[in-house]
């Protein structure tokens, strides 16, 4: 196997380890809320705490990756994810919150180091295709967590679900430890400013697009299972399945990445994707049954076009030394979206419990992504 494919697998599994842990909470959230008797707003802290550290340390993670190398930064990150997973299966809500915070710190490092590893090895003319395959980590993590962990949580309790994520994290740690190879030596001697990439206006526009898009997407995956169960009267298993349909369409990211590489267009897929997601959120409150399934499948297909182009653009916007910093900026903005989106939507749920109001907030997030897409200078 060519080395770039091996590194793609390693990077994918590392990111999957974090994302699987992050997405383990929504399928079992009703059980956690029932056990600890907490509100939707308080429950959203379990997603908030995973995302919060990355807002502050992802850019530093990019700088550390440039200086100390992807292997070291990823290794520390995966170790922290495993420690956080161990803390999360303790009996107290405080231990669960601390565990989620530690997972978030580790995830901030992993989600900076893993795409940087891929960018070292994958051919630039096929970068969106590679990032499209890498981008499968989120849909697969969400689909598996919603349909596997939800059932395990129902049958054996939510701590059994989190135990599975701990095992996956340890496996990811061992694979990273033994298989990761660097193509470029860590830059420990460069005396230039490590923050030079922060001056790029375009990388921040791209980051804002990624933030607002994920405000919409993560709000949906966080609260979808509970909303479909309560407002559409679906069974817990069906509610988890419906919420996971966003990610089933996203399984097409390798194809959409290939199309992006062939056309060399990045802005058009980003704008089209965000607009399609906004249209889906507009329709969801007015559909049910088979119509709802079709709208949710369209939502997932629309979402599939944005990830490969977003992750291919840092290599076109920044110089080689600043690429890992660019991924750090994207991860910072991603986690702003993870914090703000579910928190605001959780507040709206507590305030109104109206289908139209809840999905209108998600739609506004997606419209913001669409408008920001027009400010990109890429084709």
Question: What domains are there in the chain, each with its CATH number?
Answer: 3-181+199-373 (1.20.1250.20)
Among 76-80, 177-181, 247-251, 294-298, where is mean pLDDT lowest? 247-251
Asked if 120 and 10 count as a contact pair (C-beta separation under 8 A), the reply is no
Is residue 321's pLDDT more than 70?
yes
Query: What's the CA gap between 353 and 350, in Å, rounded?
Result: 6
- Mean predicted confidence (pLDDT) in 287-313: 92
* Counts for the chain of helices (H) and strands (E), in that order: 19, 0
pLDDT at 192 over 70: no
Q: Is the pLDDT at 351 greater than 70, yes or no?
A: yes
Mean pLDDT of 331-342: 87
pLDDT-derived band of residue 202, with 50, 70 and 90 as boundaries? very high
pLDDT at 29 over 70: yes
Tell me which residue of 59, 56, 113, 106 sits closest to 80, measured CA to CA.
106
pLDDT computed for residue 196 by the predictor: 67
Mean pLDDT, range 125-138, rounded to an integer? 87
Q: Is the pLDDT of residue 185 over 70?
A: no
| Mean per-residue pLDDT of the chain | 88
Residue 117: HSE in the Cβ half-sphere, 13 Å Cα cutoff = 33
Could you tell me which of 130, 345, 90 has the C-alpha nearest to residue 254?
130
Which range, 55-59, 108-112, 332-336, 337-341, has the best average confidence (pLDDT)? 108-112
What's the pLDDT at 52?
Answer: 85
In whole angstroms, give the CA distance from residue 274 to residue 281: 11
């Amino acid at each position: 196997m060519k080395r770039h494919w091996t590194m793609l697998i390693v990077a994918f599994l590392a990111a999957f380890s974090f994302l699987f842990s992050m997405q383990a909470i929504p399928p079992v959230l009703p059980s956690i809320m029932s056990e600890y008797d907490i509100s939707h707003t308080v429950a959203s802290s379990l997603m908030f705490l995973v995302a919060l550290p990355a807002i502050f340390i992802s850019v530093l993670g990019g700088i550390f990756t440039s200086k100390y190398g992807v292997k070291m930064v990823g290794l520390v990150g995966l170790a922290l994810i495993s420690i956080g997973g161990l803390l999360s299966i303790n009996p107290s809500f405080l231990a669960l919150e601390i565990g989620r915070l530690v997972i978030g710190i580790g995830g901030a490092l992993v989600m900076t180091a893993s795409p940087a590893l891929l960018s070292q090895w994958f051919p630039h003319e096929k970068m969106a295709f590679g990032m499209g395959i890498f981008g499968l980590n989120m849909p697969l993590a969400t689909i598996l967590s919603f349909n596997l962990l939800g059932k395990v949580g129902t049958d054996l309790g939510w701590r059994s679900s989190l135990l599975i994520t701990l095992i996956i994290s340890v496996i990811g740690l061992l694979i990273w430890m033994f298989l990761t190879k660097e193509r470029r030596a860590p830059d420990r001697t460069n005396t230039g400013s490590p923050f030079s990439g922060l001056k790029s206006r375009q990388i921040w526009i791209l980051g804002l697009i990624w933030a607002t898009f994920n405000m919409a997407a993560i709000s949906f995956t966080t609260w979808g299972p509970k909303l479909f169960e309560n407002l559409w009267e679906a069974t817990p298993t069906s509610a988890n399945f419906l919420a996971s349909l966003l990610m089933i369409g996203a399984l097409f990211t390798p194809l959409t990445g290939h199309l992006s590489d062939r056309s060399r267009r990045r802005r058009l897929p980003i704008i089209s994707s965000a607009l399609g997601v906004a249209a889906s959120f507009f329709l969801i409150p007015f559909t049910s049954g088979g119509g709802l399934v079709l709208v949710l499948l369209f939502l997932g297909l629309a979402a599939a076009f944005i990830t490969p182009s977003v992750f291919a653009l840092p290599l076109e916007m920044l110089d080689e030394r600043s690429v890992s910093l660019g991924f750090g900026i994207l991860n910072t903005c991603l986690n702003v979206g993870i914090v703000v989106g579910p928190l605001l939507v959780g507040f709206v749920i507590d305030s109104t419990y109206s289908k139209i109001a809840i999905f209108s907030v998600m739609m506004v997030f997606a419209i913001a992504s669409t408008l920001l897409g027009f400010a990109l200078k890429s084709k």
